Structure 1
Amino acid sequence: MNKKKVGVGLSGGVDSGTTALILKERGYEVVGMTMKLFDHHDAEISVAREVADRIGIEHIVLDYSSSFESSVVEYTVKSYELGLTPNPCVFCNRHFKYGKLLDYCMENGIDYFATGHYARISYDEDRGIYRIFKAKDSRKDQSYNLFQLSQEQLKHLIFPLGDFSSKAEVREKSSGTLSELSSKKDSTGICFLNKISLYSFLKKRNSSSTVPGAFVDRAGNFLGRHVGLSSYTLGQKKNLPKPNGESFVVCGIDSSENKVILGSEADLLKTEISLADVNLLDPLMIFPAIVEVKLSQWSVVYSGELSSVGGEFKLSFKSPVRAPAPGQSVVFYSGDELLGGGTICSAV
C-alpha cells in the first residue's frame, strides 16, 4: 500500500519543523513547502531547507512574491488608507497558506496539507462535516486564524500540534533531530515589514495613511495634529493630545477628512456589529445562535447572539463590547468549537 503524501508549510521555525517531523514519524511521505513572498525571505528559506535536510524530506520553494505584493501588501496598505484595522495574517492564510499551497498539493498528487497552527480538526460522522476546535494549549491556540476554511479544504488538512499541551512539549519533541530549533523564539508581528516599523514601511510607499492631519473631538473641534491615520486604532490611549489635561481615547477614524476622532471610554462601547464576508464551518447552522465572540486574536471573549436576515449577518450583545474595529476579523465559538467568522463593517 502506498504511503499517503503530505505537504507541510515549512517556514524554518520550530512549529512547522516539528509538524514535518511528526508526520514523517507517522509514516507519511512528507514534502516541505516554503513560500518566497518578499525579497528578504532568502534567509528563512535557507533555514527551512536545512530543516528539511535534517528530517530527511523533499523540499520545494514556491515563488509567490509578485502575487503577495499585489494582494496581501496592497490590501494592508489600502486598509490603513481607508481608516480600517486590517488583519494581514488572516488574509494571507486565506489566499496563500490555505489557498495557493493547498491548491498546489491538490494539483500535484499530494493528498494532504499540514501546518504548525495550534488547532484541532475532527470529522463528525453523524453530521457529515469537519469541525475545528481550539488547541489543548489555550495560550497558543490559533483557531482564530482558521475561520475562513471550507469543508472541502478541511478534508485535506492536518494540524498535529493542536493536541500538544504546551509549547514546551513541542520544543521537547524537536530537541533531538531539530535541536537547533528547539530554543528558537516564536516569530511575531507583520512578516513583510523586515524589522522596520509599520509607519516607516507605509511612509516609504508614500501612503496617504502617513499624511499628518487633525485630531478632533466628536463635535468636530480641533484638538491637535496627528502624524497619519496608520498610527492610530480604536481604543488607543497613547500618543494623543491632552488639552487642558483632559485624557482621550481614539473613538473614530475619518479617512475622507484625514481626521482622528477622540472621545471617552463610553464612546467605544457598542452593542451591535454588522459583518461582511462571513464564513460558517457548518453550512446548516441555525439562527439566531448564542455564540462566544473574539473581536481579535487575543481579545477577551464576549457572549453574543449571531443573526442572519436576508444574507446580512449581525452580532448583538446584552453587555457592551469595547472598540470593535472596522476591518478586523471577528470570530465566533461554541465552547471550544470554532463556528465561523467574518469582518467587522460597523458597530453601534
Structure 2
Amino acid sequence: MASDIISTGSSFSTFEKLEKILVGLSGGVDSSVCIQILKDQGFDVSAAVIRFSPAHDAAVEAARKVAAQLNVFCYEIDAAEAFEQAVVQPFCESYCKGETPNPCVVCNPLVKFRLLAEKADELGIRLIATGHYARVEEQDDGSYRVAVPESAARDQSYMLYRLDQDILSRLVLPLGEFEKQDIRDTARELGLASADAPDSQEICFIPEGGYADFIRARGLESPAGHFIGPDGQDLGPHKGIAHYTIGQRKGLNIALGQPVFVKAIQPDGNILLGWAGEEFYRAVTLRDVATPTGKPLEDGEYLAKIRSAASPAPCLAKNQPDGSVALVFPTPVRAPAPGQSAVLYRAGCVEGGGFIDSILP
C-alpha cells in the first residue's frame, strides 16, 4: 500500500521536482504521510509545527518525533497570541451571542496558513503543504480553487473556503486523491509513531468539559434565560445558551408529549423551541462573504454546504444591497445555524462562502 501511494505523482506535475516545500506538521497521521509522499516525489521537504496554545504541547512533541523519524527538520511556530485574538476570543463571544461558530474556518486563513506561509517566506521556500483532504485546481483564467477530494467521506474543502489566491497559488494538498484508511495503512507500513494517532477533534482547544465550562473559565458567562415553547409558553429556565445549538433535540429535558428542537437562540438568553419535523428552512442570509479571487460572488445556482458534515444542497445565491448574500433552497435544509458557514460549490470547486446571519422559513 505504501508503494502504491508514494508512487502516485499526478498531483505534482505542475511543480519542479527537488523544489523546497514546507509542510504544516500536526503530529497526526495525515500530515506525517503527507511528508513522506512529498519526499518520495522528489521534493526537498522541511516541516513546521504550530503551537497554538499550551494545550498543544503534546502535539508539538509528537510532531518533532515524527519529523525525526522522517528525517526532516521541524521548525516551531508560536501562534499563541494570534490564535487567542483571531480565533479563541471571537469563538467565545460568538457562543455568548447564541451563535454556533466553527473556529477552523477562521483559523485556517488568519492563523494556520498565514503563519505557515510567512515561515516559508522567511526560509526562502515558495511552496507549502498540509495534510488536508482536499485538492487545489488551477482554472482556465490562471486562478486557483479549493476542490473536493476523491474521498467524499473525508472532504475538508469546507474548512478551507476562506483561503485566498496568495495561499492557493503556492499550496500543495497531496492527500486529496487518497482514502483515510490508505493513509493510515501507509503510516503503519512506514512504522511512523503517528500511525495509530486518533483523528483530531473538531475544536482543538476545547477540553473534555465542553464549551460552557471553557467559556466560563475565561471569565465569560453565556446569558441565562428561559425555554419558550412552540406555542409561546414559558417552560422555565435553562442552563445558559452556550449549552445548546440550533437543531438540538437531545438533552433539553422538556416533556411536551412530542419531541421538540432548538429553533432559535436569542442573544437576550431565551431559547425558542419548535416541534420536531419543523426544523427545515428555505433561505438564509450570509455576512462577511469571501471568494477565492476576492471578487464579489456571482449571483446564480450553486451547491451549498451549511455545515462541514452536511450534504451539498442546490441553492440560488443573490447579492443583496446591504452587502449580504441570500441563499434560497428549492428543497428546505435542516437546522441552518447563525454563526456557521455556508460554503458554495460549482463543478466540485469552492466558489465562496460566508457566515450564516439569519434564517428564513
Map Cα deviations across residues 165-203 of structure 1 (whole Å, 9 max, x no partner). Answer: x11211232224343322222112311123332222122
SS at match of 2:265: strand
SS at match of 1:8: strand
Q: Which runs of 4+ in 1 moved over 4 A?
A: 282-286
Number of the residue aligned with 1:160: 174
| 1:286 to partner: Cα distance | 7.5
Number of the residue aligned with 2:12: none
Correspondences of 1:203-218 after superposition (within 5 Å): 203-209=216-222, 211-217=223-229
Whole-Å Cα distance in 1 between the matches of residues 234 and 88 of structure 2?
Answer: 33
Instruction: Give the conservation status (yes or no) of the 8 Å contact 1:51–1:178.
Output: no
Which protein is richer in strand relative to its size? 1
Number of the residue aligned with 2:187: 174
Map Cα deviations across residues 254-287 of structure 1 (whole Å, 9 max, x no partner). Answer: 112x111112246533222111121223567884
Instruction: Give the conservation status (yes or no) of the 8 Å contact 1:223–1:241.
Output: no
Whole-Å Cα distance in 1 between the matches of residues 164 and 131 of structure 2?
Answer: 19
User: Would you say 1:263 and 2:274 are equivalent positions?
Assistant: yes
Number of the residue aligned with 2:211: 198
TM-score, normalised to structure 1, is 0.92
User: Would you say 1:316 and 2:331 are equivalent positions?
Assistant: no
User: Would you say 1:32 and 2:47 are equivalent positions?
Assistant: yes
Q: Percent identity, aligned pairs only?
A: 35
Map Cα deviations across residues 5-56 of structure 1 (whole Å, 9 max, x no partner). Answer: 2111111100011111111222222121111111122221111111111111
Number of the residue aligned with 1:102: 117
Whole-Å Cα distance in 1 between the matches of residues 297 and 198 of structure 2?
Answer: 42
Correspondences of 1:1-348 after superposition (within 5 Å): 3-124=18-139, 126-164=140-178, 166-209=179-222, 211-217=223-229, 220-256=232-268, 258-265=269-276, 267-281=278-292, 287-310=298-321, 311-348=323-360
C-alpha distance 287-94 of structure 1, shift in aligned 2 (>3 A) = closer
Unaligned runs of 5+ in 2: 1-15
C-alpha distance 60-282 of structure 1, shift in aligned 2 (>3 A) = closer
Map Cα deviations across residues 71-92 of structure 1 (whole Å, 9 max, x no partner). Answer: 2110111001111111011111
Whole-Å Cα distance in 1 between the matches of residues 91 and 24 of structure 2?
Answer: 23
Whole-Å Cα distance in 1 between the matches of residues 83 and 145 of structure 2?
Answer: 29
Unaligned runs of 5+ in 1: none
| 1:223 to partner: Cα distance | 0.6
SS at match of 1:94: helix
Instruction: Give the conservation status (yes or no) of the 8 Å contact 1:223–1:243.
Output: no
SS at match of 1:270: strand
| 1:251 to partner: Cα distance | 0.6
Map Cα deviations across residues 203-226 of structure 1 (whole Å, 9 max, x no partner). Answer: 2223221x5421113564311221
> How many residues in Structure 1 have an aligned counterpart in Structure 2?
344
